[in-house]
Structure 1
Amino acid sequence: MAQRIEVRIEIFQEGELYVGLCPDLDVSSFGETPENAKQSVQEALEAFFEECEVIGTLSEVLQEAGFIQKDGNWLPRQPISSELVAIG
Protein backbone atom coordinates (compact mmCIF):
# COMPACT_ATOMS: atom_id res chain seq x y z
CA MET A 1 0.00 0.00 0.00
CA ALA A 2 1.75 3.12 -1.22
CA GLN A 3 -0.54 5.60 0.50
CA ARG A 4 -0.56 6.26 4.21
CA ILE A 5 -3.78 5.93 6.22
CA GLU A 6 -3.91 7.48 9.68
CA VAL A 7 -6.41 5.91 12.08
CA ARG A 8 -7.46 6.33 15.69
CA ILE A 9 -7.00 3.31 17.93
CA GLU A 10 -8.54 2.98 21.38
CA ILE A 11 -7.56 0.32 23.91
CA PHE A 12 -10.03 -1.00 26.51
CA GLN A 13 -9.72 -3.64 29.17
CA GLU A 14 -12.45 -6.30 29.19
CA GLY A 15 -11.91 -8.84 31.93
CA GLU A 16 -8.37 -10.13 31.61
CA LEU A 17 -8.00 -9.15 27.94
CA TYR A 18 -7.41 -5.84 26.21
CA VAL A 19 -9.44 -4.81 23.17
CA GLY A 20 -8.00 -2.63 20.44
CA LEU A 21 -10.66 -0.73 18.49
CA CYS A 22 -10.54 1.55 15.46
CA PRO A 23 -13.86 3.35 15.97
CA ASP A 24 -13.78 5.14 12.60
CA LEU A 25 -13.82 1.82 10.70
CA ASP A 26 -15.39 -0.47 13.33
CA VAL A 27 -12.39 -2.83 13.26
CA SER A 28 -11.28 -4.47 16.49
CA SER A 29 -9.05 -7.19 17.88
CA PHE A 30 -7.62 -8.14 21.25
CA GLY A 31 -4.50 -9.11 23.16
CA GLU A 32 -3.22 -10.06 26.59
CA THR A 33 -1.55 -6.66 27.09
CA PRO A 34 -2.37 -3.17 25.82
CA GLU A 35 0.60 -3.38 23.42
CA ASN A 36 -0.58 -6.79 22.13
CA ALA A 37 -4.07 -5.37 21.56
CA LYS A 38 -2.62 -2.40 19.66
CA GLN A 39 -0.47 -4.64 17.47
CA SER A 40 -3.37 -7.02 16.89
CA VAL A 41 -5.78 -4.29 15.78
CA GLN A 42 -3.09 -2.81 13.51
CA GLU A 43 -2.73 -6.23 11.85
CA ALA A 44 -6.53 -6.48 11.51
CA LEU A 45 -6.59 -3.03 9.88
CA GLU A 46 -3.81 -3.99 7.45
CA ALA A 47 -5.79 -7.09 6.42
CA PHE A 48 -8.96 -4.98 6.08
CA PHE A 49 -7.19 -2.41 3.88
CA GLU A 50 -5.55 -5.11 1.74
CA GLU A 51 -8.93 -6.76 1.11
CA CYS A 52 -10.49 -3.40 0.22
CA GLU A 53 -7.66 -2.81 -2.27
CA VAL A 54 -8.14 -6.27 -3.81
CA ILE A 55 -11.83 -5.62 -4.46
CA GLY A 56 -11.23 -1.99 -5.44
CA THR A 57 -13.24 -0.29 -2.69
CA LEU A 58 -10.59 1.28 -0.44
CA SER A 59 -11.21 4.91 -1.44
CA GLU A 60 -14.97 4.45 -1.24
CA VAL A 61 -14.81 2.80 2.20
CA LEU A 62 -12.56 5.53 3.58
CA GLN A 63 -14.70 8.34 2.15
CA GLU A 64 -17.89 6.79 3.57
CA ALA A 65 -16.19 6.58 7.00
CA GLY A 66 -15.45 10.32 6.87
CA PHE A 67 -11.75 10.19 5.97
CA ILE A 68 -10.29 12.93 3.78
CA GLN A 69 -7.37 12.65 1.41
CA LYS A 70 -4.64 15.25 1.86
CA ASP A 71 -1.27 15.22 0.11
CA GLY A 72 -1.82 11.57 -0.91
CA ASN A 73 -2.55 10.46 2.67
CA TRP A 74 -5.90 9.54 4.22
CA LEU A 75 -6.75 11.33 7.48
CA PRO A 76 -9.67 10.66 9.82
CA ARG A 77 -12.28 13.34 10.31
CA GLN A 78 -11.39 15.81 13.04
CA PRO A 79 -14.25 16.83 15.31
CA ILE A 80 -14.53 20.47 16.30
CA SER A 81 -15.60 19.25 19.75
CA SER A 82 -15.44 15.97 21.64
CA GLU A 83 -16.83 15.34 25.09
CA LEU A 84 -18.56 12.76 27.24
CA VAL A 85 -22.12 13.55 28.24
CA ALA A 86 -24.50 11.64 30.51
CA ILE A 87 -28.06 11.08 29.32
CA GLY A 88 -30.82 10.18 31.76
Structure 2
Amino acid sequence: MQQKRQFTAIIEREDNGYVSLCPELDIASQGDTVEEARNNLIEALELFFETADPSEIASRLHIDTLQSIIRQSGLPRSLFESL
Protein backbone atom coordinates (compact mmCIF):
# COMPACT_ATOMS: atom_id res chain seq x y z
CA MET A 1 0.00 0.00 0.00
CA GLN A 2 1.39 3.37 -1.00
CA GLN A 3 1.45 6.04 1.67
CA LYS A 4 0.60 9.60 0.68
CA ARG A 5 2.02 12.65 2.39
CA GLN A 6 2.01 16.32 1.46
CA PHE A 7 5.20 18.35 1.42
CA THR A 8 5.93 22.04 1.00
CA ALA A 9 7.39 23.33 -2.26
CA ILE A 10 9.06 26.73 -2.22
CA ILE A 11 9.73 28.02 -5.71
CA GLU A 12 11.72 31.20 -6.24
CA ARG A 13 13.01 32.98 -9.28
CA GLU A 14 16.77 32.88 -9.57
CA ASP A 15 18.54 34.53 -12.52
CA ASN A 16 16.88 33.18 -15.69
CA GLY A 17 15.12 30.24 -14.05
CA TYR A 18 13.43 28.94 -10.95
CA VAL A 19 14.71 27.01 -7.94
CA SER A 20 12.36 24.67 -6.08
CA LEU A 21 12.92 23.43 -2.54
CA CYS A 22 11.19 20.95 -0.28
CA PRO A 23 12.27 22.24 3.16
CA GLU A 24 10.93 19.21 5.05
CA LEU A 25 13.48 16.95 3.35
CA ASP A 26 16.05 19.53 2.24
CA ILE A 27 15.75 18.47 -1.40
CA ALA A 28 16.00 21.00 -4.21
CA SER A 29 15.71 21.15 -7.97
CA GLN A 30 15.35 23.77 -10.68
CA GLY A 31 13.72 24.55 -14.00
CA ASP A 32 13.22 27.21 -16.65
CA THR A 33 9.59 27.76 -15.58
CA VAL A 34 7.67 27.44 -12.31
CA GLU A 35 5.92 24.33 -13.64
CA GLU A 36 9.20 22.74 -14.74
CA ALA A 37 10.83 23.50 -11.38
CA ARG A 38 7.83 21.97 -9.58
CA ASN A 39 7.83 18.85 -11.77
CA ASN A 40 11.58 18.43 -11.36
CA LEU A 41 11.21 18.71 -7.58
CA ILE A 42 8.51 16.05 -7.61
CA GLU A 43 10.81 13.79 -9.62
CA ALA A 44 13.69 14.43 -7.21
CA LEU A 45 11.44 13.56 -4.25
CA GLU A 46 10.23 10.37 -5.94
CA LEU A 47 13.83 9.32 -6.61
CA PHE A 48 14.78 10.09 -3.02
CA PHE A 49 11.99 7.90 -1.64
CA GLU A 50 12.82 5.10 -4.09
CA THR A 51 16.53 5.00 -3.27
CA ALA A 52 17.07 6.37 0.26
CA ASP A 53 17.59 4.11 3.20
CA PRO A 54 14.58 4.19 5.56
CA SER A 55 16.80 5.58 8.32
CA GLU A 56 17.79 8.53 6.08
CA ILE A 57 14.13 9.29 5.40
CA ALA A 58 13.28 9.08 9.10
CA SER A 59 16.18 11.30 10.13
CA ARG A 60 15.25 14.01 7.61
CA LEU A 61 11.61 13.97 8.67
CA HIS A 62 12.63 14.10 12.33
CA ILE A 63 14.82 17.15 11.72
CA ASP A 64 11.86 18.89 10.06
CA THR A 65 9.65 18.14 13.05
CA LEU A 66 12.27 19.58 15.40
CA GLN A 67 12.69 22.71 13.26
CA SER A 68 8.92 23.16 13.18
CA ILE A 69 8.74 22.95 16.98
CA ILE A 70 11.54 25.51 17.31
CA ARG A 71 9.78 27.92 14.91
CA GLN A 72 6.45 27.56 16.70
CA SER A 73 8.05 28.13 20.11
CA GLY A 74 8.80 31.75 19.25
CA LEU A 75 12.20 31.42 20.89
CA PRO A 76 15.34 32.53 19.03
CA ARG A 77 16.89 29.78 16.94
CA SER A 78 20.31 30.56 18.46
CA LEU A 79 19.13 29.02 21.76
CA PHE A 80 18.90 25.64 20.04
CA GLU A 81 22.00 25.77 17.85
CA SER A 82 24.38 24.82 20.64
CA LEU A 83 22.31 21.80 21.72
Equivalent pair of 2:24/2:60 in contact (CA under 8 Å):
no
Would the alpha carbon gap of residues 34 and 16 (structure 1) be closer, same or farther in structure 2, given more than 3 Å must change? Answer: same
TM-score by length of 1: 0.65
TM-score by length of 2: 0.68
Partner of 2:79: none
SS class of match (2:65): coil
Partner of 2:11: 11
CA distance in 1, matches of 2:26, 2:59: 15
CA distance in 2, matches of 1:48, 1:41: 10
Q: Show CA shifts across 1:37-74 (max 9, x none).
A: 0000111111111122xx2323343233219xxxxxxx
Partner of 2:61: 62
CA distance in 2, matches of 1:56, 1:41: 20
Query: How many residue pairs get matched?
Result: 71
Question: Of Structure 1 and Structure 2, which has the larger fraction of its residues in strand?
Answer: 1
Q: What is the letter of the counterpart of residue 56 of structure 1?
A: P
Partner of 1:70: none
Percent identity over paired residues: 36
Q: Where does the alignment leave 5 or more consecutive residues of structure 1 unmatched?
A: 68-76, 82-88
Q: Where does the alignment leave 5 or more consecutive residues of structure 2 unmatched?
A: 74-83
CA RMSD of aligned residues (A): 2.5
CA distance in 1, matches of 2:50, 2:22: 16
Question: Of Structure 1 and Structure 2, which has the larger fraction of its residues in helix?
Answer: 2
Moved over 6 A (4+): none
Choose between structure 1 and 2 for higher RCO, CA contacts under 8 A separated by at least 6 residues.
Answer: 1
